[in-house]
Chains A and B, each alone.
Chain A
């Protein structure tokens, strides 16, 4: 016992551990900051640590070359004991890290914690946010499967549109004129050296700032932040009612951090890693590429945007949005911190989050991408086959063979690019159906040149049967032809 104490004293004497404690996790914080709202930053740090540990382990097996990357992931998934679990931890750790850093930012924004004197803390935080997103993106690329491939293609085409530097930037990122072997090496270097290095450096500054400037106290409506008076005020509060971060103040951080760890461990064990969806190969067109969740909104935004807007958004809107994010402390300079006194801030957060979620939802559905296998792989449901005439049956096979089904669902099954055709006969008359098929329009190609007259007749006979039994098909007043159901057939 005595020996250990002696050793401790010896170490403390040389390393000044006591003083280190005093200045770091032992420093005093306002009692009001020991709140459940203040746990997200430290939870993000927990994720980062998980990512570092699991990332180093993954790097032991992972081979950053296009031919072997995919195989090394399959090795981890199916051969190496617990390899899949390691991938699961890293995958879920990254999901949680992106989510938590975002929540952390929203909380800081809503609580006005970026205001004097913590402007720089906010800006470094924004840089950390971007670094995290960069890690997530380059990490997704490490799978080098089809999602990764298309993700890189998209980013490269975005960079390529930047005026002046576009060409150099894409070349630098791709390591050549096209996405290939060099590209993966570049992304690997970014993912394991460049961005983590930057991230840790920024994090040191971020934490240094937090320690020097103190953790903001819980906002109180009507209590103003006045540059000049604020610091003395804050010091007074900490002096009088302050508590030590550890062990008094940080209990909630510990509990929440443990919960996050548990959640990641459970997600990895129960849901598992993302299985790579086929090697990156532009000749495979069957799959619908879809990015990991944090990029779904961006993915959806670009898919839905009319093409002429894309360049405007890439060149002006996105850089402007990033500049605005960094400049928040200098734009919003009012003395109030409490959200109830800053309705503008609350509205801004609501609008941004709602649009991100809506876009992400669209991204999950991705109605704009045709379902390339539907024509041969999504059956015409039996209820659309029964009670139909031979001609309508032939029409249904044409609907499949001409790949209409890749864009059009029947009662939910099939592509979602065009309207569901299950009730189309109640909306369109026979003549309108013919016109739509021949002339297309509104994102639908014109099929006039690609269909023989028989095929059009059969198609329309089938489409004409697509109405609920108790609801008659649409008829134009002029049309005198008998039932477009084709059952029984006229003629």
Chain B
């Protein structure tokens, strides 16, 4: 009889003392329609982490979580890219008006959230010395302005130690002049990498690449040189 009584007490007790029990649904797990999600972490994880990496770094695409990148990229610019994508690359258009799934509000949350999550003081100080993230690349047409010629020289000075004497890959890094690669990356993408580097993969930023920081003009030149290896659009 005693064990049965204990059982009964247990049942009754757990029935009345259970509002703090683990079975209670957590309002945070509540289902939200995709367009109602307002949390930066959730938005980033479901929409961006696939290509840009779970931490904004170490993904195959641009390390948008790099503090230097975030110090350079204005939220305005980020909003435009997120909404409209980057034509000719894998970066999709996320804006609803462009056929994507994110509302303007969500895009604003992403654009400001990136910096709030991953920027740093130090990077901001460094960024003050940096050339602008966005700049006209100049003629990506071979020979334009002598830019490409100058770019070849800049390449030899700053990049050849890793990417090989002619850009086709070396001991420490792969080719940056492969026509298929260049066919899938925008000029801005090349500029971003040259400026910010891929510190997650061992490529320093414009400041630390060589003996001295690269000059703003040199960045434009080397991008033009890389872009000149693009196969003409079919």
Contacts and interface: CB of A to CB of B under 8 A. Distances in A.
Binding between chains A and B: yes
A139 interface: no
A376 B22 CA distance: 32
Interface in A378-420: 378-380, 382, 385-386, 388-398, 400-401, 405
B183 A452 contact: yes
Contact of A382 (B22, B23, B53): B53
Contact of A390 (B31, B45, B92, B175): B175
Contacts of A269: 14, 18, 21-23
A489 B169 contact: yes
Given A261-B11, A378-B50, A389 B175 contact: yes
A390 B53 contact: no
Contact of A458 (B54, B61, B173, B180): B180
A376 B4 contact: no
A175 interface: no
B76 interface: no
Nearest to A277: B31
A315 interface: no
B46 A77 contact: no
Given A386-B58, A394-B184, A394-B185, A379 B49 contact: yes
Contact of A396 (B15, B22, B60, B234): B60
Interface in A441-471: 452-455, 457-458, 461-462
B48 A262 contact: no
Contacts of B61: 393, 397
A491 B178 contact: yes
Contacts of B29: 275
Contact of B7 (A258, A393, A452, A486): A258
A453 to B, nearest CB: 8
Interface residues of B, number: 54
Contact of B180 (A267, A376, A391): A391
Interface stretch (A82-90, A102-110, A237-245, A318-326): A82-90
A104 to B, nearest CB: 23
> In this complex, which of B19, B180, B184 has the most chain A Cβ atoms within 10 angstroms of its Cβ?
B180
A489 B175 CA distance: 5
Contacts of B169: 389, 487-489
A397 B170 contact: no
Contacts of B10: 262
Given A258-B7, A262-B11, A379-B59, A457 B180 contact: yes
A84 B27 CA distance: 11
B80 to A, nearest CB: 19
A78 interface: yes
Contact of B60 (A74, A394, A455, A487): A394
B25 A391 contact: no
A275 B175 contact: no
A82 B18 contact: yes
Nearest to B61: A397
B84 interface: no
Interface centre among A81, A145, A373 (most CB of B within 10 A): A373
A72 B16 CA distance: 22
Nearest to A286: B34
A386 B201 contact: yes
Interface string B109-123: 000000000000000
B153 interface: no
Nearest to A455: B184
A209 to B, nearest CB: 30
Contacts of B179: 454
Contact of B174 (A88, A377, A392): A392
Contacts of A405: 50
A452 B21 CA distance: 55
B25 A273 contact: yes
Interface string B194-210: 00000001000000000
Given A386-B58, A454-B183, A262 B7 contact: yes
Nearest to A373: B46
A374 interface: yes
Contacts of B34: 284, 286
A266 B14 contact: yes
B168 interface: yes
Given A275-B30, A394-B184, A81 B49 contact: no
A98 to B, nearest CB: 20
Contacts of A398: 90, 184
A377 to B, nearest CB: 4
A273 to B, nearest CB: 7
A427 to B, nearest CB: 22
A401 B201 CA distance: 22
B60 A385 contact: yes
Interface string B74-110: 0000000000000001111000000000000000000
Contacts of A452: 183
Contacts of B45: 377
Contacts of A267: 23
Contacts of A279: 31, 33
Contacts of B73: none
Contacts of A82: 18-19
B141 interface: no
Which of B25, B173, B179 has the most A CB atoms < 10 Å from its CB?
Answer: B25
A141 to B, nearest CB: 17
Contacts of A61: none
Interface in B164-182: 164, 168-171, 173-176, 178-181
Nearest to B25: A77
A488 B175 contact: yes
B164 A488 contact: yes
Given A268-B23, A375-B50, A489-B174, A394 B58 contact: no
Ranked 9 nearest A-B pairs via Cβ: A389-B174, A272-B23, A488-B169, A489-B175, A396-B60, A454-B183, A397-B90, A401-B90, A457-B180
13 contacts: A85-B23, A145-B31, A269-B14, A385-B53, A388-B60, A391-B180, A397-B51, A400-B60, A458-B184, A487-B169, A487-B174, A489-B175, A491-B168
Given A386-B58, A389-B181, A486-B174, 14 more contacts: A262-B7, A269-B18, A269-B23, A278-B31, A377-B45, A389-B174, A389-B175, A390-B174, A390-B176, A394-B184, A405-B50, A454-B180, A454-B184, A486-B175
